[in-house]
Amino acid sequence: MINEKLYSIRMRAAAGGAHEKGGKHISGGERLAYETEMEQITGDLLKKAFSHQRGKPDFFNLVIEDVKFPVCRGEPLFVSTCNVKDPLEGKRTAEVLLCQCGLTYEVINKALGILVNNFHVRGAIIIDANTGERLDNRKDKGVRVSQLDWRQSDYKNWCVANNTAENVRMKEALTLATKVCSHPATIAEICWSDDPNYITGYVASPKRGYERITKMKEKGDEHGGRLIFIDSLQAMDSYIQYLEKQPFMIRNGGEEK
Ligand code: WAQ
Ligand code: MG
């Protein structure tokens, strides 16, 4: 497969019209595929959008583009789990973990306040790790981390080696967090889903790995989002360029493909 051409596939779906026309974000997805896999992966994205718990989309957008840069490969972050009794303990745990990444409670609270006021944003919000201020100017769009994937066979091997049940959400989130944390400017990331029935979230960092938190919200709650804390001395444009455009494939000890 080494010389086969790779494509970036991106999907976004909304209800009540397109996102830019005020529609409600239902689902998004970003993958990397060789031509022979394109039909399967496009089908998976269609299924993801049209069987979503946030509702039925009436707008679906699919973009397939050549991958323009050499693929960067990295090992998945180390995964651990914090079992918490309720969402309140989940939030407190997340704050402690973020603090252990070097953020102050002032910064953490300010940033979480920004997230709570921006649950409708459909990408990640980039935060200055020193001040807690929002750094991207993407408004409701945020920054979608794109051009990333984990070959299914490699992922299955990883699940066996780590004694973990296969879970497509965790696969996507761990892929994204690994790409985000592979950039030297990243300090930490926090995320929980906007899907009403998925309540496990995580804090990820280059320092501590991917730390799952079993309850970040109540079942039925449609509010979720993502914050990425970065060292603000780094250039924003090249950071966003990395998140959106640098192809990144997880490699876990398997053969290079
Ligand atoms: N790039 C940037 N932000 C994104 C992306 C992306 N590719 N995908 C989603 N987001 C943002 C967006 O604001 C969503 O509202 C929010 O994150 C949550 O996205 O180990 O499923 O895809 O079991 O709903 C955590 C897994 C699952 C924990 C998180 O997020 C585990 C999840 P969702
Ligand atoms: Mg979602």
Q: Which of 142, 145, 144 is nearest to 127 (CA)?
A: 142
Among protein residues, the one whose CA lies closest to atom 32 of ligand 1: 193
| Domain edges within the chain | 6-68, 73-250
* Ligand 1 contacts CB of residue 189 (under 6 A): no
Q: What is the 3-state secondary structure (H, E, C) of 13-47?
A: EEECCCHHHCCEEEEEEEEEEEHHHHHHHHHHHHH
pLDDT score for 232: 81
Q: Does residue 121's CB lie within 6 angstroms of at least one atom of ligand 1?
A: yes
- Give the atom of ligand 1 at the shortest distance from the alpha carbon of 148: 7
pLDDT tens for each residue of the chain, 257 residues long: 556 899 999 999 999 999 999 999 999 999 999 999 999 999 999 999 999 999 999 999 999 999 999 999 999 999 999 999 999 999 999 999 999 999 999 999 999 999 999 999 999 999 999 999 999 999 999 999 999 999 999 999 999 999 999 999 999 999 999 999 999 999 999 999 999 999 999 999 999 999 999 999 999 999 999 999 999 877 899 999 999 999 999 998 755 44
The DSSP string of 107-175 is HHHHHHHHHHTTTT-SSBEEEETTT--B----TTT-B---SEE--HHHHHHHHHHTT----HHHHHHHH
How far does residue 64's CA lie from ligand 2's centre (Å)?
21
**pTM for this entry:** 0.97
Instruction: Tell me which DSSP letter residue 87 carries.
Output: H
Confidence (pLDDT) at 234: 75
What pLDDT score was predicted for residue 235? 87
What integer pLDDT is reported at residue 233 of this predicted model?
Answer: 77
With both helix axes pointing from N to C terminus, report the angle between 105-116 and 87-100 in degrees, rounded to the nearest 10: 130
Ligand 1 atom nearest residue 29's Cα: 7
The pLDDT assigned to 174 comes to 98
Residue 226 Cβ inside 6 Å of ligand 1? The answer reads yes
Q: Ligand 1 pocket, 126 CB below 6 A?
A: no
Ligand nearest to the CA of 176: 1
32 with 8: CB under 8 angstroms?
yes
Give the distance (Å) from ligand 1 centre to CA of residue 145: 10
